[in-house]
Structure 1
């Protein structure tokens, strides 16, 4: 048995003797030689205080004759209070742990939601980039290419092609298109070597359509310098024909008179055609 327990039993025995017999001064207790450790010493001190309190209560009851009521020691009350306080703290800690678990769960959910949002944002960003790329490709395809600096065509070659096309239209019997083509040639290439001949053929198409005034103007432009070409004698006869249709027989006869002087070796067909027009105009 420990020394502390022996001292507690001795104190309880002394208290019992004091309650059963008249009050006598307490005998001094001889302290034990062996030292106690700090923990046992504190327990002993607490028990000694309790014993002193109990002894005071007993002595008070002996003096007053009142019944002895043993109240719980202040130390026990404080210990009970501390126990209650600890219980409250434990309950508070339990509530805090529950709140912490809820908060942790909500935080995990928020993290998952954030990760999902980040994934959606990345998908939308990729889709937007793809749409922008497609729009750029469509815009690039719709943009017309820059004009290529080409060498201007040779006027002589271009005029030859234009004359050939107009002549082909006339040979094909499309006089309306031939008239437009020869008229465009005369306007576009007025100073080219084939411009007089183009005027001759242009007059032919106008004469077929009955546009005698413009036909006469075209023939005059064709034979202005009395060119030495195969078509020139016929152009003179066609001019006189247009003048007869315009009710100008005198001008027609004068034109036919120039035919023999300018083109004495005209083809027989042209000469015969001139004789017929001369008779129509009643030339003297």
Structure 2
């Protein structure tokens, strides 16, 4: 009996020894679920990053810049880009508003220029009509009241030469009457435009600016390509300045540059002077 009791523990030991491998081979449930596994992976990633930071500081001796977590950094980067886009949009809106304002001003300036051009055209038409009416001969009188026929006067060439001679001597009053007589008698002759040009000069001498402007308009009608035509256009612009019409003068001077690009230097210098008086842009 005692031997059985002594052998029993040995037998139990042997049984446990033989059963141990079987027990150790039995799989155990993993105490970590999937969420804990991800947390563990993140902790390991943080540990690796900290280790890299420590090694970087130790090896380089430079200050270690710790970047935020990847997700936070991306959010901050996206926020910065959104702010940049908002600032760019704000600048673009400001530029668009400025361009719209400039376009409105340009449109208003164009409308004002068109209105001013129409007004100038109307004034020139009225002046031309007045000049045409002045050139018309008076109505014929009845035979009973008609005076006796006068003696034949000088020819067109002689009348032109006489009026020009009076101007050269400085007798502008007599020259004015001579030019008026020439225009009245020989208004359709080839020299009539030039006669009106010289008539405008005599009228300008005594300050008859409106009449002088009308004479110059008659002289440059059709924009003749003669030696005196650029000077006539400059003189017309000067008379318009005297009549307080600087805008009209500036438009005439613009025509001067376009119609007479090969004008003499003296005429161009006078045009520059009158442009300054009119304060042309």
**TM-score interval for Structure 1 and Structure 2 normalised by the shorter chain:** 0.3 to 0.5
Scaled by the length of structure 2, the TM-score of the pair is 0.46
- Higher gyration radius (CA): 1
Higher relative contact order (CA 8 A, sep 6+): 2
Scaled by the length of structure 1, the TM-score of the pair is 0.45
